[in-house]
Amino acid sequence: MLTTNAVFQRFNGADESGSVRMPHKQLDATLHMFQVDMLAANLEAYSADPEQARAKYPWATRFAMGHPLAPWQRPAVWTDEQKVRFITSIWMGADLGSYLVNEWYAYADRTGAFAINSEVLLDGQQRLTALEGYLLGEFGVPDALGQVRFWSELGNAERRRFLNTPFAQARVHSDDETALRQAYDLRAFGGTPHTEDQRASA
């Protein structure tokens, strides 16, 4: 029975028999603190030889910052406005959360190709796709004076400031596609979009 006036207690639960069991985690995730620069280096390596990456992950439908995406993941869906907002948040030093990758890999055959779901990006596709588009010059964002600027216009000092922004990487290690799909769904379907009337700033 729930009571509205009870003082919260961490322990002293109603079920002392242990018959009530909540869900258990299926995948252990570890968090690693990196910077945007690590992703940029990954993109740089991918851009130098995209055919090699495609041969390594022949099942990948596409890549985001050089990370392969599984065929069962949705496509990139962010609008241009969402991409600009995310890149602006990097410039302004906002917390970027984390993106999730599967660090497990196995060889599928003797050609050196990896098995499906090897090193796949499980969460963060929209953010990493936006970051890739910005670094490759597909769109610009307003500078401090409101003028739209592209990555190619920036000097190295400003580039370093951007690339040094912390962006955490979470990792799981699994060859279980069912568990990977469930992890993907939990992270992809948890949010509720804000409406315009809920905006905190003018």
Pair 135, 6: CB distance under 8 Å: no
Confidence (pLDDT) at 187? 81
DSSP state of 22: -
CB proximity list for 39: less than 8 A, separation 6 or greater: 65, 66, 128, 131, 167
Q: What's residue 36's pLDDT?
A: 98
Give residue-wise pLDDT tens across range 70-83.
999 999 999 999 99
pTM, whole model, 2 decimals? 0.86
- Give 28: exposed, middle or buried? Use CB within 10 Å, 0-12, 13-18, 19+: exposed
Answer whether 65's CB lies under 8 Å from 45's CB. no
Which residue would you say has higher pLDDT here, 197 or 152? 152
Q: Which residue has the higher pLDDT, 154 or 201?
A: 154
| Res 150: pLDDT | 98
pLDDT of amino acid 190 = 64
Does 194 score more than 80 pLDDT? no
Of 9-13, 90-94, 107-111, the one with minimum mean pLDDT is 9-13
Measuring CA to CA, how many Å separate 41 from each of 45, 188, 191? 6, 26, 30
Question: What would the pLDDT profile of 127-185 be if each residue is shown by its tens digit?
Answer: 999 999 999 999 999 999 999 999 999 999 999 999 999 999 999 999 999 999 998 88
Q: When comparing pLDDT for 153 and 1, which is higher?
A: 153
Over residues 98-104, mean pLDDT = 96
Q: Which tens digit of pLDDT belongs to each residue from 2-54? A: 556 778 788 877 788 888 888 888 788 999 999 999 999 999 999 999 999 99
